[in-house]
Amino acid sequence: MPYRKTLVVAVAATVVLAGAGCGIRSAAAPAKQQLVFYSAQGYDKAEAAAFQKATGIQVKLDDTSTGPLIAKVEAERSNPRWDVIWFDGNGPIYALDQQHLLLQHWLPAAAKNYTSLGRSLLPPGDGYYPTGVTAAAAIAYNTKLVPASQAPATWHDLLKPFFRGAVAMNNPAISGPTYPFVAGILHRMGAKKGDAFFQDLKANGLKIYPTNGHTLKALVTGAVKVAMFQDSAETKAMVTGDPVRIVYPPAGVTMLPSDMAINAHAPDLAAAKQFVQFVLSPAGQRIMLTEGGGDSYFNPLIKGEKPNPARPQQGITWQNVPVAWQAAKMNGIQKWFLDHITR
């Protein structure tokens, strides 16, 4: 997507951000300003605290998993209470954009610093802003339970008898990264073969946990031998010394952007615009890369920002599933997975 040179800068341009690395002048914010922030990111508390300190704008953070977060946004459709939303998965946020729930035709000034990949992930109408990329799921195995000779190399290796009753993944109705992972498998393999793959996993004793943390715990404690979940969480486990190794199947892994958006009817639009600008600034990027726990192991989309060196970069075949396809198929795939795989 060609980068649009004309950027609409935040309304409150004079109430600008302070803080190390931000490079913007500071002015006191009106006491009445408040940012209501819905998020499913590990670095959201740190971003909220830093933004509040830099601007004086009070931040009310609602931190929860992606599925409940999206349900809350849709429940508030006629009376929205939030200003900014942030979670992983461009399919669901594209769907919200198509429902006209997100502010369009505005880009933060920091968008000029997007990499070519970052620019390519901007939607038509600029309804949301990509902030980083991970793999929706890679394969992680417990090295204490899986010898090198038995380590999986492909997705279909997980169907072997050695892994019977010992494979885990997240619930796509709750975990933000997991619907894109499921959609990516179905898109890459085709509906019939993808359906068969998950049905065969279920027949082989697939275990489903709510989110990354639960699935990782099952893997590390030995409840399962192998798991499929977001590679940033897998990397964190490996870095902290857990007996975990990561496999990127050569068939590909689904690229998972994290995205931030502003409410089309934001109660405090000026504060919302400032917050997006802050997150994409050097100060906000440093917080993302250092204060998000497992979520900090992502590939940045801002020029000059580097991923944590511990994050794997080699041997990864990325699959970019068309976002419109993901959004259009979401309700049907979610229902199918619930009816045929989860239950």
**For residue 310, what are its two tokens?**
């511990």
What is the pairing mode between strands 253-262 and 84-88? antiparallel
Handedness of CA 243, 248, 249, 250 (dihedral sign): negative
pLDDT of 222 > 60? The answer is yes
Q: Which domains does the chain have, with CATH numbers?
A: 34-133+258-296 (3.40.190.10), 135-254+315-342 (3.40.190.10)
Q: Write down the pLDDT at residue 31.
A: 53
Query: Would you call 148 exposed, middle or buried from its count of C-beta atoms within 10 A (0-12, 13-18, 19+)?
Result: exposed
Confidence of residue 72 (pLDDT cuts 50, 70, 90): very high
| Type of residue found at 115 | T
pLDDT of 137 > 80? The answer is yes
Task: Give me the mean pLDDT over the 308-327 stretch.
Answer: 94
Backbone φ, ψ for residue 82 (5° rounding): -105, 160
**For residue 77, what are its two tokens?**
């459709």
pLDDT tens-place string over residues 73-128: 999 999 999 999 999 999 999 999 999 999 999 999 999 999 999 999 999 999 99
Backbone φ, ψ for residue 111 (5° rounding): -65, -20
pLDDT tens-place string over residues 258-298: 999 999 999 999 999 999 999 999 999 999 999 999 999 99
Q: What is the pTM of this model?
A: 0.87
